[in-house]
Chain A
Amino acid sequence: MTAQNDIYALEIVRLNKSFVGLPVTQDVSMTVRPGERRLLLGPNGAGKTTLFNQITGEILPNSGQIKLFGQDVTKLKPHQRAHLGLSRTYQIITLFQNDTLQHNVAFGLLGLMPARWNFFRPMSQHILVEARRVLGLVGLEHLADRPISEIAYGEKRRVEIAMALAQKPKVLLLDEPLAGLSSAERNTIKKLIADIPRETSLVMIEHDMDTALDLAETITLLHYGKVIIDGMRDAVIADERAREVYLGH
């Protein structure tokens, strides 16, 4: 291995976070290699979303370190981390309700472009065309001009992903992308996630085991804010403790 390969896409070192006395992240360490597909498992309230929020900078940890491609980003603001190649989706849909699908995805593009500081000209046609293309990737091009408020829940889930994909992220955090979907819809999204290029490292929170395990190479299991077990997929599935906490239902 060359030195280059030793740099993790994402590295979390001994992270701690408490909400008014309630510890939700306890000494969490985790690494993600470039291109890796990692599944983040854990029962409800284990602190998975809170960990994502700390990785993106929406919540600051009490102690510990977060690195993107070797760079310490622990103190950086969310928008600065986005510019280093970090994107996420939300467990609770967080879209621009009154704007069209195309406009929503365009936000994802504009956020990383210098054009967002243009005070004189509207968003360029080029951005809108690209937004449409990305909507095509998630099969929603035909709804591009409809406002979010008029589309179905499953379609909103796909817009969540399209917004992140538009950014061509180096590290993508997916927070329960399949939550609340029918099995047909789950398969659509599963395929979508499987098709994400290897330039993007993935960390995915997901409860739906059938789907999630197929996509995962490595698994981190969180329980009460602690990493219970971390390793290759098959080793984790076979692990006694994993069964106890999570898989053994």
Chain B
Amino acid sequence: MNKIWFWVPIVAGFFALLPFVAGDFYVNLGSQMMIAAIFALSLNLLVGYGGLTSLGHAAFLGVAAYLSAWFTTRAGFGHGTAALLSIIGTTMCAALFGLIALRASGLGFLMITLALSQVLWGLAYRWVSVTNGDNGMAGLTRPMPFGISIESAASFYWFALIVTVAAFVLITVFVSSAFGVSLKGTRDQSRRMAALGFNVWMIRWITFIYAGFWGGIAGLIYVYYNKYIHPTSLSITSSAEGLLGVIAGGSGTLVGPIVGSVLVTFLKNYASSYIDRWNMLLGFVFMFIVIVMPDGIVPGIRRLAGRLKEPRK
């Protein structure tokens, strides 16, 4: 634990240097990685720590993004109020979805989360009067947090980095807390946890809501970055990319989702400009990871490092 708090400022400081050494293309890529990382960190709460594999997490990213777009353009709210209302709305949406999805676990949970996000995806396409349908909502603006403009690539990157660090710290505190320990217990032996006095359902519901909250934060940064929102952000592809980041990096680890998201975003954006079929490439890379490091990159590297330190006896 304490080791982590030692490394956070160092690693964050290191990442903060990127705009000084790289051009806008890479800085923007960095911002997208941050957004994907926040999203994957929030999804990891469910998948990695709760043992609840969701295939509908993009619902929260999308709801927050659409709410923010709607509040700023249609309702005429300022960014501060809009952000607050969007996050409250998204968190309430997560509370409702959790009530429905947590009637099941395992495959049932996965199917319900998928179905719920598909409903929202369909709604975003069809409810044209509110969402502008397939055209998406364009002409959005970025906020000016504390009066500071985040229009340039570098300033937005730093903004996204700050939010990512906050997400990492607060999610780490959550999973390391006594509650987080209970959450892991419900993942490993839910039946025994109940018999020991833990309210398994409530533990999962609270976690679902907290994950939805951070998914909503990811959605806000996402819509600020793109200044545009389209129904595809709510699609299964969007959810699956997050899941891919979590699993590739190492679900149930603190930094795994960040590593995984960086990789997925890199392949998606950078490699796609050289290779037409980036999806196929992503598939191959993912297969490689699953075969070589079945529990993901971070646990895989940790094991490798352990083996190097302690040569075979």
Contacts and interface: CB of A to CB of B under 8 A. Distances in A.
Interface string B192-223: 11111111100000000000000000000000
Given A98-B188, A123-B178, A107 B196 contact: yes
Contacts, number: 83
A121 B178 CA distance: 6
Contact of B193 (A97, A107, A112): A107
B196 A163 contact: yes
Nearest to B174: A119
Contacts of B189: 94-96
A112 B197 contact: yes
Nearest to A83: B197
Contacts of A82: 194-197
B181 A110 contact: yes
Give the interface size bracket for B toward A: 20 to 34
A118 B196 contact: no
A74 interface: no
A110 B195 contact: no
A187 B179 CA distance: 38
Nearest to B200: A79
A19 interface: no
Interface of A: 56, 58, 77-79, 82-83, 87-88, 90, 94-99, 107-108, 110-112, 115-124, 163, 167
A122 B178 CA distance: 5
Contacts of A98: 188
Contacts of A56: 195
A58 B194 contact: yes
A116 B179 contact: yes
Given A110-B182, A111-B197, 11 more contacts: A77-B199, A82-B194, A87-B195, A110-B196, A112-B197, A118-B177, A118-B178, A121-B177, A121-B178, A122-B178, A163-B196
Contacts of A120: 173, 177
B215 to A, nearest CB: 18
B1 interface: yes
A79 B249 CA distance: 35
B126 interface: no
Given A118-B178, A122-B178, A94 B192 contact: yes
B198 to A, nearest CB: 5
Contacts of A83: 197
11 contacts: A82-B197, A83-B197, A90-B192, A107-B185, A107-B192, A111-B193, A116-B179, A116-B198, A118-B177, A119-B174, A119-B180
The 5 closest A-B CB pairs, nearest first, are A111-B197, A111-B196, A82-B197, A78-B194, A118-B178
A116 B173 CA distance: 14
B132 interface: no
A177 to B, nearest CB: 15
B183 to A, nearest CB: 10
A108 B177 contact: no
Contacts of A117: 178-179
Query: Quick one: which of A78, A95, A99, A124 has the most chain B CB within 10 A?
Result: A78
Contacts of B179: 116-119
A96 B200 CA distance: 15
A160 to B, nearest CB: 10
Contacts of B180: 119
B195 A122 contact: no
A96 B187 CA distance: 10
Contacts of A111: 193, 196-198
B303 interface: no
A58 B191 CA distance: 8
A58 B195 contact: yes
B188 A78 contact: no
B185 A96 contact: yes
B184 to A, nearest CB: 8
A56 B194 CA distance: 10
A119 B177 contact: yes
A99 B200 CA distance: 19
Contacts of A77: 194, 199
Contacts of B141: none
B240 to A, nearest CB: 28
B155 interface: no
